[in-house]
Amino acid sequence: MSNRFNRRRFLQTTAAAGLTAAAAPAIPRTPRRPVVIASANGLTSTNAEGVSCIEAAFVKITEGADVLDALIAGVNIVELDPNDASVGYGGLPDADGVVTLDSCCMHGPKRRAGGVACLKGVRTPSLVAQAVADITDHHLLVDEGAQRFARNMGFEIEDDLNTDRSRALWLEWKRRTDPEHFPDPESRAEAGYRVGLQMVAEGKIDPEHYYGTINCSGVNASGDVCGVTTTSGLAWKIPGRVGDSPILGAGLYVDNDVGAAGSTGRGEANLYSLASFLTVENLRQGMHPKDAGMAALQRIRSYTVDARLLNEAGEPAFNVNFYVLAKDGAHAGVAFYGGEGRNYAVCDNNGPRHEPIEGLLGND
């Protein structure tokens, strides 16, 4: 199927939704539903038919699919893309060369959530997270328990999710850090971080893929809100490390009454303040998505006091991004640092596109 055919189908599918929205009575804050938003890779990764995550999810929503089912079908495209080194198959591995995956999903109308962490061998952890929400009475399964659950649910378990590219990058990182000398933990961590950033600067690793992740949220015409986050986590992480992505309130939070927020970037900073939860609470207070996300960034900024995490100006030396979607369809992408090439993905009745991320501390 060609891209051109997909675009035509997209326009045909959404025409009726657009007419319905146009016929709705005017209210002080006009609904702009349905809408799907995601981190930038929600538009850059595509399947064999040239369809991106946000396009696939949006079409399914307009066809009447459950919002979470649609979003997960969308992020599966990114999880299965071997060229996206931040998610799923081919994600950058941990310090031992093992790809471990985290995911979380939340269903607004059902008030249910599921997550997995340190999952090995399953290319689509978002589907396993959804199974945790649908089939168990738990939220989070980890490591061997998560893999055993996935196997029992019929998921294929592979020995290794590395691609040739991800394995080659890990080998280069390993050579540069020379861990056989086993320096003290602080020095080793500093060396590993420094070498990782060197590889980013040399163009070997996409800067957005060093921390990784895709977050995707959506709302349908009825105002049902859902969200999903999935990641291979921090490149070269200490084995067993879990970031913010599978944790409720950190990498993702959804409240069907007000909206959704998800995050990419330095997970540890986000975990300390549960900033996605804070962002949704800011929406509840009536803030616009942009203001809600900026207030959460201010909280992280105030909590960042460790000198090693600050730049020469005394500001965070890392980035955190928030993708914020209100129940009425208003949305925003914010981060500590915006700038050229830093965008988030949007799909609504006007079609798929990238929109700029706005920086709290300017552009870098």
Residues 80-118: tens digit of each pLDDT: 999 998 899 999 999 899 999 999 999 999 999 999 999
Helices (H), ranges, the chain: 3-23, 41-44, 53-62, 67-79, 125-135, 143-152, 164-177, 185-201, 207-211, 267-273, 275-284, 289-303
Give me the CATH code for the 3-161+207-359 domain, please. 3.60.20.30
Catalytic site residue 213? yes
Counting beta carbons within 10 angstroms of the beta carbon of residue 16, is it exposed (0 to 12), middle (13 to 18) or buried (19 or more)?
A: exposed
Q: What pLDDT band is residue 28 in, cutting at 50, 70 and 90? A: very low
How far apart (Å, rounded) are the C-alpha atoms in residues 186 and 22?
59
Average of per-residue pLDDT across 347-360: 97
Q: Which of 44, 124, 177, 213 is catalytic?
A: 213
> What does the block give as tokens for 260?
């959704």
State yes or no: pLDDT of 169 exceeds 60.
yes
pLDDT tens, 278-320?
999 999 999 999 999 999 999 999 999 999 899 999 999 999 9
Q: Which is nearest to 104 in space by CA: 328, 261, 321, 266?
A: 261
Residue 204: predicted pLDDT: 62
Res 236: pLDDT? 86
Band the pLDDT of 33: cuts 50, 70, 90.
very high
Q: Residues 50-82: pLDDT tens digits?
A: 999 999 999 999 999 999 999 999 999 999 999
| Encoded tokens for 95 | 């310090």
